[in-house]
């Protein structure tokens, strides 16, 4: 992550070439600058005043640079604490609230820069003031969850956003945010949709004319490095407490893999490959909707997806009702897990999730049939459920999904390696244009892609019994 | 070099000195100081008396600051502060703010002398270190026929002893433009070890103590700089004072002597080897009491800064 801050330089800095020297030092250090404001004295006695925004590759290198610039009279612009205003009502933010990006953000509280927990776009920042023995903390809070009296950051003063280093521009540019930076270097080679770095909308650059085998290998590489991070962390935990292998908790590193799946995953015949990925431990959490779940179960139980036999391809007689019958049965069982326990559901992606203990969140939408009992129909509750599962995610793969992909993208910090696979270029672009610019777009058929991905990591597909 | 248009310095006829009764090396705050290499008191005294005589023979008036026991570096009067005797204004003294605690006790004595001698004492705002005329020397280029002479510009050194932030405060206080140059070699820890204004055309410059930016600043300021060789700079040739056309120097190489004579100067060498053990030369031992810093030449009025603002997005 790169870091930016504004410097001030005052005095006879132009004729003394101090400005030139400071800018040279900035560039020589590998940082970049932008002159925000320059007030040049018109007489020989008038001092000049310059404000320079400096961007370095990391907070550490910015600190080192600033330390070296201080002697030349270039100082950090005096920063003020973030302005805090209490929320007047539940679910209503104060006017002028600071709206977050998905980038790592810090707020200045009591003269100290405090990291905002759980970076998430389109939220507010709520500050817990320091109390006895505890320093002030800050966290992102979606609008509906703000409570009366919460101290909300207003305006952008005292807020600092660290910009992502464009991927491929130096070591350690990957998603890993713990000390276990990926060792095989895959992350550093990923292309981003923008390549530009800063947070913004409508800045994507996706093309269908990119070699797919390379894309598959990149995603496979991300899965492998996430797995090796999990294994290293798990090894460390075992070292600390023999026998203790609990993987979920507050201490999770960013090494979980999230898959967001749309119904086309099933329609295109990719479900067995995805089921294999789940069974073999390549996926740690699944987000989907009623449609994907329905067709996954339909294909597992009846061998059709939206009434079309996956083996034959021709619509089955009265197949249009297949998905309704499946939903009805699931409602009879009460939940997917119950259907698995009863032996009625014995294959498919969700079956493997239940068997492997992989959590899934099914978020409903207005056109859902049924829905399946597991589907969370209250969108706020669904988003909250997804929000809880996003913790510790280091890799996100969006498969042929628009609404759920964008909803997930909204929840993910910018540091999460995100891949968006869709046959429709517009979907891939749209995800980026909604701010998830860290996403790498792969425009291709999802059925072929998932099968190749499973093969690349060595996960055997789990064929449907029919 | 030529003598054409070389206007002698408008200052340098009156100096403050402090007799070395209590001079010694009692601490180490520069690379020359070694407490085990103490100066010889008698030799120091005779060198100092010879310096004063040389100054007086050259036509300068010499004032004396009382030595104080326990303040061995009080002899280096150049660091007492900045003196401004611009015509039409009050005589002002801006006391230094010494970087090292060892020298901070000097300020009270310096200030007392100036207050007793009719100077208005102006304290420097802020708390950044600044070591007086040792780190800020005025240069006023001779005018040419087509344009009037600009006012004096302070060439000020920073990093070793003075902070660049203090330069801005000095400029504001005295109303004089400042050119800040970084001192990059600890052997040349004050700007008066690398720069000595000679007249309106010339100045001695030791590029060894400056970086490329500093050298460019000097080139832009001084029409004909006299660049010192390594050995000349190391023997404190730049730490000289000028009385009219007489350059009073702690040492001078034959090469430099020829250059100065060609430029119309007379060289008077007065060795100060005992004081060089504490890192000081002729300039360090004197403080000019007649420097006009805050001149306001016609046509340099107005206080309207031009503002360029770039949009953030």
- Gap between the Cα atoms of A101 and A120, Å rounded: 6
> Which residues of chain B make contact with A21, given a CB cutoff of 8 A?
182, 211, 213
What integer pLDDT is reported at residue B106 of this predicted model? 97
Q: What is the CATH number of the domain that holds B123?
A: 3.75.10.10
- Gap between the Cα atoms of B250 and B283, Å rounded: 9
Contact call for A12 and B303, based on CB within 8 A: no
Each residue's pLDDT tens digit, B5-16 = 578 899 999 999
What integer pLDDT is reported at residue B302 of this predicted model? 35
The CATH code of the domain at A3-76 is 3.30.70.2690
Angle at B279 between CA B169 and CA A12, to 5 degrees: 20
Residue B68 contacts A, CB cutoff 8 Å: no
Contact call for A45 and B306, based on CB within 8 A: no
Residue B220 contacts A, CB cutoff 8 Å: yes
- With 50 as the cut, is the pLDDT of residue A192 above it? no
CB A89 within 8 A of CB A148: yes
- Gap between the Cα atoms of B138 and B290, Å rounded: 11
Contact call for B308 and A42, based on CB within 8 A: no
Report the mean per-residue pLDDT for chain A.
Answer: 82
Of chain B residues 127-166, which have a CB less than 8 A from chain A? 150-151, 153, 158-159, 163-165
- With 50 as the cut, is the pLDDT of residue B20 above it? yes
- Domains in chain A: boundaries: 3-76, 83-161, 187-457
For the ranges A123-137, A436-450, B138-152, B256-270, the one whose mean pLDDT is highest:
B256-270
Residue B226, beta-bridge partner list: B204
3-class SS at B114? helix
Please report which helix (H) or strand (E) contains residue A394, including its range.
strand A393-399
- Gap between the Cα atoms of A302 and A344, Å rounded: 11
What is the least distance, in Å, from the CA of B64 to any CA of chain A? 33
> Which residues of chain A make contact with B158, given a CB cutoff of 8 A?
71-73
What is the least distance, in Å, from the CA of B278 to any CA of chain A? 26
Percentage, residues of chain A above pLDDT 90: 47
What integer pLDDT is reported at residue A432 of this predicted model? 76
Each residue's pLDDT tens digit, B108-138 = 999 999 999 999 999 998 888 999 999 999 9
Each residue's pLDDT tens digit, A383-401 = 999 999 999 999 999 999 8
What's the topology of domain A83-161? 2.40.420
pLDDT band at A45 (very low <50, low <70, confident <90, very high): confident
Of chain A residues 48-67, which have a CB less than 8 A from chain B? 48-49
Percentage, residues of chain B above pLDDT 90: 79
Residue B301 contacts A, CB cutoff 8 Å: yes
Report the number of distinct structural domains present in chain B. Answer: 1
Angle at B47 between CA B41 and CA B49, to 5 degrees: 100
Report the mean per-residue pLDDT for chain B.
Answer: 90
What's the topology of domain A187-457? Rossmann fold (3.40.50)
Residue A77 contacts B, CB cutoff 8 Å: no
Distance of CA A438 to the CA centre of its chain: 8
- With 50 as the cut, is the pLDDT of residue A276 above it? yes
Each residue's pLDDT tens digit, B70-123 = 999 999 999 999 999 988 888 999 999 999 999 999 999 999 999 999 999 999
Q: Is residue B296 part of a domain?
A: no
Number of inter-chain CB pairs under 8 A, A vs B: 98
What's the token pair of residue A224?
């492998």
Extended strands (E) in chain B: 14-18, 61-65, 81-84, 92-95, 120-121, 136-139, 153-158, 178-182, 195-197, 202-205, 224-227, 241-243, 246-249, 266-269, 287-288, 306-309
pLDDT band at A175 (very low <50, low <70, confident <90, very high): very low
- With 50 as the cut, is the pLDDT of residue B305 above it? no
Phi, psi of B82 (to 5 degrees): -110, 140
- With 70 as the cut, is the pLDDT of residue A203 above it? no
Q: Is B190 a catalytic residue?
A: yes
Task: Give the domain extent around B167.
Answer: 14-23+40-288
pLDDT band at B271 (very low <50, low <70, confident <90, very high): very high
ipTM of the complex: 0.84
What integer pLDDT is reported at residue B21 of this predicted model? 96
> Could you give the strand order of the β-sheet that contains B241-243, starting from the edge strand earlier in sequence?
B241-243, B246-249, B266-269
- Gap between the Cα atoms of B183 and B208, Å rounded: 9
Contact call for B305 and A73, based on CB within 8 A: no
Q: Is B48 a catalytic residue?
A: no
What is the least distance, in Å, from the CA of A7 to any CA of chain B? 14
> Which residues of chain B make contact with A10, given a CB cutoff of 8 A?
168
- With 90 as the cut, is the pLDDT of residue A234 above it? no
Which bin fits A284, alpha (ψ -120 to 50), beta or left (φ > 0)?
alpha
B182: nearest CA in chain A?
Answer: A72
């Amino acid at each position: 992550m790169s870091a930016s801050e504004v410097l001030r330089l005052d005095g006879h800095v132009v004729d003394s070439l101090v400005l030139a020297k400071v800018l040279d030092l900035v560039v020589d250090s590998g940082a970049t600058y932008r002159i925000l404001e320059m007030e040049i004295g018109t007489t020989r006695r008038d001092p000049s005043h310059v404000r320079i925004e400096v961007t370095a590759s990391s907070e550490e290198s910015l600190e080192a640079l600033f330390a070296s610039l201080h002697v030349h009279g270039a100082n950090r612009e005096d920063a003020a604490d973030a302005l805090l205003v209490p929320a007047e009502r539940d679910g209503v933010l104060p006017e002028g609230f600071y709206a977050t990006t998905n980038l790592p953000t810090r707020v200045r509280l009591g003269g100290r820069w405090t990291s905002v927990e759980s970076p998430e776009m389109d939220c507010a920042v709520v500050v817990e003031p320091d109390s006895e023995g505890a320093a002030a903390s800050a966290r992102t809070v979606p609008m509906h969850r703000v409570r009366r009296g919460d101290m909300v950051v207003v305006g952008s003063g005292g807020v600092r956003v660290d910009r992502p280093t464009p991927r491929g521009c130096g070591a350690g540019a990957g998603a890993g945010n713990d000390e276990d930076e990926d060792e095989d270097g895959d992350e550093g080679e990923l292309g981003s949709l923008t390549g530009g770095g800063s947070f913004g909308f409508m800045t994507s650059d996706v093309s269908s004319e990119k070699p797919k085998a390379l894309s598959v290998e990149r995603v496979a590489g991300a899965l492998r490095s996430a797995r090796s991070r999990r294994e290293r962390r798990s090894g460390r935990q075992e070292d600390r407490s023999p026998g203790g292998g609990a993987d979920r908790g507050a201490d999770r590193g960013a090494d979980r893999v999230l898959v967001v799946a749309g119904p086309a995953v099933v329609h295109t015949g990719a479900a067995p490959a995805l089921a294999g990925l789940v069974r073999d431990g390549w996926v740690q959490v699944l987000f989907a909707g009623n449609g994907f779940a329905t067709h996954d179960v339909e294909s597992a139980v009846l061998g059709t997806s939206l009434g079309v036999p996956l083996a034959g391809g021709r619509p089955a007689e009265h197949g249009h009702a297949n998905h309704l019958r499946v939903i009805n049965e699931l409602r009879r069982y009460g939940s997917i897990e119950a259907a698995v326990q009863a032996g009625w559901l014995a294959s498919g992606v969700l079956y493997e999730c239940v068997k492997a203990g992989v959590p899934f969140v099914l978020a409903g939408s207005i056109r859902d049939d049924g829905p399946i009992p597991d589907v969370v129909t209250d969108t706020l509750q669904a988003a909250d459920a997804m929000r809880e599962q996003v913790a510790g995610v280091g890799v996100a793969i969006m498969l042929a999904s628009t609404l759920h992909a964008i909803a997930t993208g909204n929840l993910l910090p910018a540091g999460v390696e995100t891949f968006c696979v869709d046959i429709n270029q517009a979907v891939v672009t749209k995800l980026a244009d909604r701010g998830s610019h860290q996403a790498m777009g792969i425009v291709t058929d999802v059925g072929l892609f998932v099968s190749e991905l499973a093969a690349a990591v060595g996960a055997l597909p789990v064929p449907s019994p029919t | 070099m030529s003598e054409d248009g070389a206007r002698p310095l408008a200052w340098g006829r009156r100096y403050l000195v402090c007799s070395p009764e209590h001079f010694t090396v009692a601490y180490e705050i520069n690379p020359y100081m070694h407490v085990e290499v103490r100066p010889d008191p008698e030799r120091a005294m005779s060198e100092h008396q010879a310096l004063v005589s040389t100054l007086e023979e050259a036509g300068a008036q010499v004032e004396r600051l009382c030595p104080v026991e326990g303040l061995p570096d009080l002899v280096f009067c150049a660091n007492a502060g900045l003196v401004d005797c611009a015509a039409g204004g009050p005589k002002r003294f801006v006391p230094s703010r010494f970087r090292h605690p060892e020298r901070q006790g000097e300020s009270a004595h310096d200030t007392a002398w100036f207050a007793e001698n009719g100077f208005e004492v102006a304290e420097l705002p802020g708390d950044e270190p600044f070591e007086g005329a040792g780190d800020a020397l005025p240069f006023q280029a001779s005018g040419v026929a087509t344009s009037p002479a600009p006012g004096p510009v302070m060439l000020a050194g920073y990093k070793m002893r003075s902070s660049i932030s203090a330069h801005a405060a000095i400029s504001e206080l005295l109303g004089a433009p400042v050119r800040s140059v970084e001192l990059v070699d600890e052997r040349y820890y004050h700007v008066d070890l690398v720069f000595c204004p000679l007249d309106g055309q010339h100045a001695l410059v030791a590029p060894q103590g400056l970086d490329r930016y500093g050298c460019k600043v000097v080139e832009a300021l001084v029409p004909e700089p006299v660049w010192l060789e390594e050995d000349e700079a190391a023997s404190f040739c730049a730490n000289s004072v000028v009385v009219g056309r007489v350059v009073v120097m702690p040492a001078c190489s034959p090469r430099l002597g020829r250059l100065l004579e060609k430029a119309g100067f007379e060289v008077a060498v007065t060795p100060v080897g005992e004081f060089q053990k504490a890192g000081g030369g002729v300039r360090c031992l004197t403080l000019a009491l007649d420097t006009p810093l805050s001149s306001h030449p016609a046509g340099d009025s107005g206080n309207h800064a031009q503002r360029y603002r770039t949009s953030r997005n």
